């Protein structure tokens, strides 16, 4: 019996990488969130739980992700703050979401660790998913339903938010541009940039535009050749022209007041009222009421939302994770740190929670974070291997 169970565990571990890629595909292709969630449960969560013993025995996987698991579980305990409002049902819900997020990041890291797919190929794959999905949404929304091109483009399947879809397109497009420029494939890099700009114009996402701008700045810091410097300056100039032009011919800069500053101030005041140390907790009400009396669902800033829910303890732990990986990503020339930078910049204006069911936030925050983290650890591992080889050669000589 034990031998049979061991075989089942090994088979589940073999299936897991395929399940992860299929789940990522379904995040774009599934008609509803319910379908995408079911795919995650069957293709990712189930194989991970079945093969959990083998995953824990993988020392590189275990040692790399243990800090993430500790931090995520720590955040889940904030569901006990404001317990009277949410009760045990809310506590169970938050720990369930923590399990989902931990499973996802473990599965992604295992996918990369086993060499099933490289970061570069995963970037290309995800950008292609986002691009094809955007093209299909464009055709369905404007051509099949005969809507005016001045109307805001709304995606038609699982990822139905124009704001988040635009951010996702920029997150995986900027690293892909960098990959092409490094290989002197400048035409390909420019094509990616123009495709991003084209769809961001119709998605009308100011947060995605901000993320793209910060990502391009990060790419400029990565410049290695004089020709690249000229190329990046040209891209920046065109970006500014597009941004100014959208004020007169689009809705990106002139589609109304966002009330962001009022929301952020009210969010900080609400956190102070609840208590700076622990915040309002996940059991509390995350709605923000500004001075004029208008109410918004959340803080429209992932860091302020996290601060509201988990207080100073949760915010500092989040800043530590993001700051460490971003710094190490640039230090080790990790290509996906550019995508992470785009996501972080965009989430300064969007986002509600980090511990969720499978949703946009997994593609915007968790996936770029883990891909960057894997690149950092991989280059550290390669560096250690080189040192060992040099020591062996010196010893033999």
- Highest mean pLDDT pick, 61-75, 287-301, 378-392: 61-75
pLDDT at 83 over 80: no
Question: What pLDDT sits at residue 257?
Answer: 64
Q: Which segment of 18-27, 245-254, 282-291 scores lowest on mean pLDDT?
A: 245-254
What does the alpha-carbon distance between residue 342 and residue 339 come to, in Å, rounded to a whole number?
A: 5
Q: So where are the chain's domains? A: 123-255, 257-396
Question: What pLDDT sits at residue 188?
Answer: 93
Q: Give 5's pLDDT tier (boundaries 50, 70, 90).
A: confident
Question: What pLDDT sits at residue 278?
Answer: 86
**How much of the chain exceeds pLDDT 70, in percent?**
90
Tens of pLDDT, residue by residue over 173-189, are 999 999 998 888 989 99
pLDDT at 390 over 60: no
Could you tell me which of 40, 48, 41, 38 has the C-alpha nearest to residue 14?
Answer: 48
Greater confidence, 321 or 286? 321
Mean local confidence (pLDDT), 81-100: 87
Q: Give 239's pLDDT tier (boundaries 50, 70, 90).
A: confident
What's the predicted TM-score (pTM) here? 0.91
- Establish how many alpha carbons lie within 13 A of residue 68's alpha carbon, considering only the half-sphere containing its beta carbon: 25
Question: What pLDDT sits at residue 298?
Answer: 77
Residue 81 to residues 43, 113, 310, 339: CA-CA distances in angstroms? 33, 37, 8, 33
Q: Give 253's pLDDT tier (boundaries 50, 70, 90).
A: low
What does the alpha-carbon distance between residue 75 and residue 286 come to, in Å, rounded to a whole number?
A: 16
What does the alpha-carbon distance between residue 23 and residue 40 come to, in Å, rounded to a whole number?
A: 6
pLDDT at 28 over 70: yes
Question: What pLDDT sits at residue 244?
Answer: 73
What does the alpha-carbon distance between residue 246 and residue 241 come to, in Å, rounded to a whole number?
A: 8
pLDDT at 142 over 60: yes
Q: CA angle, corner 378, sides to 375 and 383, nearest 5?
A: 125
On whether the CB atoms of residues 44 and 107 are closer than 8 A, the answer is yes
Q: Give 227's pLDDT tier (boundaries 50, 70, 90).
A: low
Question: What pLDDT sits at residue 397?
Answer: 57
What does the alpha-carbon distance between residue 295 and residue 116 come to, in Å, rounded to a whole number?
A: 46
Task: Round the average pLDDT of the chain to a whole number and report it.
Answer: 87
| Gap between the terminal Cα atoms of the chain | 53
Tens of pLDDT, residue by residue over 272-307, are 888 888 888 887 667 787 777 777 777 888 999 999
pLDDT at 121 over 90: yes
Question: What pLDDT sits at residue 61?
Answer: 92
What does the alpha-carbon distance between residue 99 and residue 115 come to, in Å, rounded to a whole number?
A: 24
Question: What pLDDT sits at residue 395?
Answer: 53
Helix, strand, or coil here: 263?
A: helix
DSSP-assigned beta bridge partners for residue 288: 296
Residue 337, token pair as written in the block? 């740190």
Q: Give 16's pLDDT tier (boundaries 50, 70, 90).
A: very high
Residue 351, token pair as written in the block? 């986002």
Question: What pLDDT sits at residue 3?
Answer: 66
- Highest mean pLDDT pick, 108-112, 150-154, 238-242, 377-381: 108-112
Mean local confidence (pLDDT), 263-276: 87
pLDDT at 353 over 70: yes
pLDDT at 206 over 60: yes
pLDDT at 245 over 90: no
On whether the CB atoms of residues 291 and 327 are closer than 8 A, the answer is no
DSSP-assigned beta bridge partners for residue 159: none
Which residues make Cβ contacts (< 8 Å) with residue 219, sequence separation at least 6?
Answer: 174, 177, 178, 181, 232, 338
Which residues make Cβ contacts (< 8 Å) with residue 156, sequence separation at least 6?
Answer: 136, 137, 140, 141
What does the alpha-carbon distance between residue 163 and residue 107 come to, in Å, rounded to a whole number?
A: 27
Greater confidence, 239 or 317? 317
Q: Give 226's pLDDT tier (boundaries 50, 70, 90).
A: low
Length of the chain in residues, anyone?
Answer: 397
Residue 147, token pair as written in the block? 């809507």
Beta-carbon count within 10 A of 181 CB:
25
In the block, residue with structure tokens 């204006």: 349
pLDDT at 24 over 80: yes
Mean local confidence (pLDDT), 6-34: 94
In the block, residue with structure tokens 């339903």: 145
Question: What pLDDT sits at residue 2?
Answer: 63
């Amino acid at each position: 019996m034990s031998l049979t169970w061991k075989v089942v565990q090994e088979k589940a571990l073999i299936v897991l990488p395929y399940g992860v890629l299929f789940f990522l595909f379904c995040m774009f292709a599934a008609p509803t969130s319910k379908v995408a969630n079911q795919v995650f449960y069957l293709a990712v969560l189930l194989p991970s739980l079945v093969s959990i013993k083998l995953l824990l025995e993988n020392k590189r996987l275990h040692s790399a992700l243990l800090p993430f698991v500790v931090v995520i579980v720590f955040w889940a305990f904030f569901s006990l703050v404001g317990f009277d409002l949410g009760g045990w049902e809310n506590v169970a819900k938050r720990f369930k979401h923590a399990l989902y997020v931990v499973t996802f990041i473990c599965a992604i890291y295992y996918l990369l660790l086993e060499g099933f797919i490289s970061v570069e190929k995963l970037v290309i794959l995800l950008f292609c998913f986002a691009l094809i999905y955007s093209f299909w949404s464009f055709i369905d929304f404007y051509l099949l339903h005969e809507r005016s091109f001045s109307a805001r483009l709304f995606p038609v399947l699982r990822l139905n938010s124009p704001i988040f879809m635009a951010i996702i397109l920029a997150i995986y497009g900027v690293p892909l541009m960098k990959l092409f420029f490094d290989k002197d494939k400048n035409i390909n890099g420019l094509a990616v940039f123009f495709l991003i700009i084209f769809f961001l114009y119709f998605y009308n996402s100011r947060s995605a535009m901000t993320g793209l701008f910060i990502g391009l700045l990060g790419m400029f810091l990565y410049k290695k050749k004089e020709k690249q410097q000229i190329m990046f300056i040209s891209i920046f100039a065109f970006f500014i022209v597009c941004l100014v032009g959208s004020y007169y011919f689009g809705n990106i800069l002139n589609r109304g007041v966002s009330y962001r500053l009022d929301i952020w101030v009210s969010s900080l005041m609400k956190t102070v009222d609840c208590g700076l140390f622990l915040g309002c907790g996940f059991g509390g009400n995350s709605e923000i009421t500004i001075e004029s009396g208008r109410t918004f669902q959340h803080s429209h800033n992932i860091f302020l939302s996290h601060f509201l829910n988990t207080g100073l303890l949760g915010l500092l732990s989040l800043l530590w994770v993001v700051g460490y990986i971003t710094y190490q990503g640039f230090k080790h020339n990790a290509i996906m740190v550019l995508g992470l930078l785009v996501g972080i910049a965009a989430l300064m204006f969007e986002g509600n929670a980090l511990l969720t069911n499978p949703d946009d936030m997994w593609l915007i925050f968790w996936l770029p974070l883990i891909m960057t983290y894997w690149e950092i650890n991989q280059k550290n591992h390669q560096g250690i291997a080189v040192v060992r080889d040099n020591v062996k050669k010196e010893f033999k000589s």
